């Protein structure tokens, strides 16, 4: 009986030693994107509030929204949206384009192509963290 118990214990110890430690992947850090001063201010003062620093939809104000803010890292969403559609949502807000009423419009950006393109580049860069 003792030999059986020792062999079982030995087999268990060997099996543990063969287990590989799974390394956790580091959190993805989106690439740095050059932004216009106006778009950078808009991103940090408004967008991050709901979408979060890395655009995962986990900003402090977004936690209480239903539905929650868009996760920009979603490959499916990134593929489904054109740059023009993203710009339209930014300028007109979610409600105007059949999306969430909680996505506010930024009509002051209408006609500011460089700022809108900058915001789209930022949003697209967040899609690289899937």
Q: How far is CA 65 from CA 34, 59, 61, 70, in A?
A: 29, 10, 8, 11
Is residue 62 a contact partner of residue 69, using CB atoms and an 8 Å limit?
A: yes
| DSSP secondary structure letter of residue 45 | I
Whether residue 64 is predicted with pLDDT greater than 70 in this model: the reply is yes
- Mean pLDDT value across residues 43-68: 93
Where in the chain are the domains?
Answer: 35-126
Dist. CA 20–CA 27, nearest whole Å: 21
* pLDDT tens string 86-122: 999 999 999 999 999 999 999 999 999 999 999 999 9
Fold type of domain 35-126: Cytochrome Bc1 Complex; Chain D, domain 2 (1.10.760)
Overall pTM surpassing 0.85 (yes/no): no
Give the CA angle between residues 78, 81, 86 to the nearest 5°.
105
Confidence of residue 126 (pLDDT cuts 50, 70, 90): very high
């Amino acid at each position: 009986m003792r030999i059986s118990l020792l062999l079982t214990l030995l087999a268990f110890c060997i099996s543990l030693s063969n287990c590989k430690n799974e390394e956790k992947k580091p959190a993805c850090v989106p690439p740095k994107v050059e932004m216009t001063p106006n778009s950078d201010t808009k991103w940090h003062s408004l967008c991050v509030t709901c979408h979060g620093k890395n655009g995962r939809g986990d900003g402090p104000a977004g936690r209480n929204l239903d539905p929650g803010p868009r996760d920009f890292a979603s490959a499916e969403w990134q593929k489904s949206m054109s740059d023009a559609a993203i710009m339209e949502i930014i300028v007109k807000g979610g409600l105007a384009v059949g999306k969430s009423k909680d996505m506010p419009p930024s009509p002051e950006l209408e006609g500011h192509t460089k700022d809108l393109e900058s915001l789209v580049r930022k949003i697209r860069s967040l899609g690289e963290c899937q």
